Amino acid sequence: MAGEATYRGRFAPSPTGPLHFGSLVAAVGSYLDARAQGGEWLVRMEDVDTPRNVPGAADGILATLEAYGFEWDGPVLWQSTRFAAYAEALQRLIDGGLAYGCACSRKEIADSGSHPAIDGGLAYPGTCRNGLPAGRVARAWRLRVNDEALAFVDRLQGTVTQHLQSDVGDFVLRRADGLFAYQLAVAVDDEFQAISDVVRGADLLASTPRQIWLQRCLGYATPRYAHLPVASNAAGEKLSKQTLAPALTPGQAGPTLVRALAFLGQTVPAELAQAPLAEIWAWAHAHWDFAAMPRRKSIPLATLP
């Protein structure tokens, strides 16, 4: 029917290591939200940061998703095949005067009295925004931002507001090593795949205003966002390869899936942990309750039953 809203969600892992409980939670949340709304669910392999890719990790992630019973729509989109699209988007921003070449090294930015950015690193002080200093060449490409309030309403975390200029500064679209930045790749691909709903971990909440700004600069639609609580260890660190989160074991799929559902606030019957995987998914699809999800940014795993 013309005008009917189409739900399209996605799960976009980076192949920097095996799937762990934290990434499973994001996959489960986005998958069930998509299916509950009769939507499609796509998988995108975010292998754009090639030096960080771990050989075999992408295939391992896809095999684990299959072993856990996820069924995605269409072929996997590999960001490593999308360089031409990112280059075209960057060129459009440069041609429009929205992106510019930057000669600054990390050390020069650190020495220029810049203040910390909202999610680590340093806010770019704008050294090259009015042209490269004499005799310098562009190493990276940055997007111009302004300091107006940029706000969006997250379905779980409520209203999020940033002032991009003071919170992050003009940010990198193409790095000095020639690689395209995650922020650009994700904006281009969410548009390319016509994603209506981004459901992902709250560790990416602070990136979202940059992505919305990029969408506006490129004339893209802005999806709805829901940022799920991330699983943290007892020290409050997000589960990741760096914090040595254990890889998921396919043999434990049922009980681990049940733990992920419980983590997302679903009231799972205790006996379901021993049920066949298909039965757990049938229960999850029938009982998925978005409103029951905790509206928190992180939850230590030790607090789980």
Catalytic residue annotation: 241
**Residue 218 makes contact with ligand GLU by CB under 6 A:** no
Residue of 150, 179, 204, 226 that binds ligand GLU (CB under 6 A): 204
How many degrees, rounded to 5, is the angle at CA 172 between CA 166 and CA 177? 145
Q: Which residues in 189-203 are b (16+ Cβ under 10 Å) and which e?
A: bbbebebbbbbbbbb
User: How many CB atoms within 10 Å of residue 304?
Assistant: 10
Helix (H) or strand (E) holding 162: strand 158-163
Nearer to ligand GLU, 46 or 167 (CB): 46
Query: How much of the chain is in helix, strand and coil states, percent to nearest 5?
Result: 40, 20, 40
**Residue 260 makes contact with ligand GLU by CB under 6 A:** no
For residue 79, CA distances in Å to 83, 114, 173, 224 come to 7, 32, 15, 22
Please state, in angstroms and rounded to a whole number, the distance separating the CA atoms of residues 305 and 301.
9
Q: Which stretch binds ligand GLU (CB under 6 A): 8-16, 158-166, 224-232, 297-305?
A: 8-16
Please state, in angstroms and rounded to a whole number, the distance separating the CA atoms of residues 59 and 236.
30
**Residue 186 makes contact with ligand GLU by CB under 6 A:** yes
**Residue 14 makes contact with ligand GLU by CB under 6 A:** yes
Report in angstroms how near the CB of residue 51 gets to ligand GLU at its nearest: 15
Ranges within 38-77 binding ligand GLU (CB under 6 A): 46
Nearer to ligand GLU, 200 or 259 (CB): 200
Residue of 139, 144, 200, 259 that binds ligand GLU (CB under 6 A): 200
Lay out the site mask for ligand GLU across 141-170 (x = CB under 6 A, - = otherwise): ------------------------------
**Residue 209 makes contact with ligand GLU by CB under 6 A:** no
Q: What is the dihedral of CA 294, 298, 301, 305, to 10 degrees?
A: -20
Report in angstroms how near the CB of residue 190 gets to ligand GLU at its nearest: 8
Nearer to ligand GLU, 33 or 46 (CB): 46
**Residue 82 makes contact with ligand GLU by CB under 6 A:** no
Residues that bind ligand GLU (CB under 6 A): 12-14, 46, 186, 200, 204
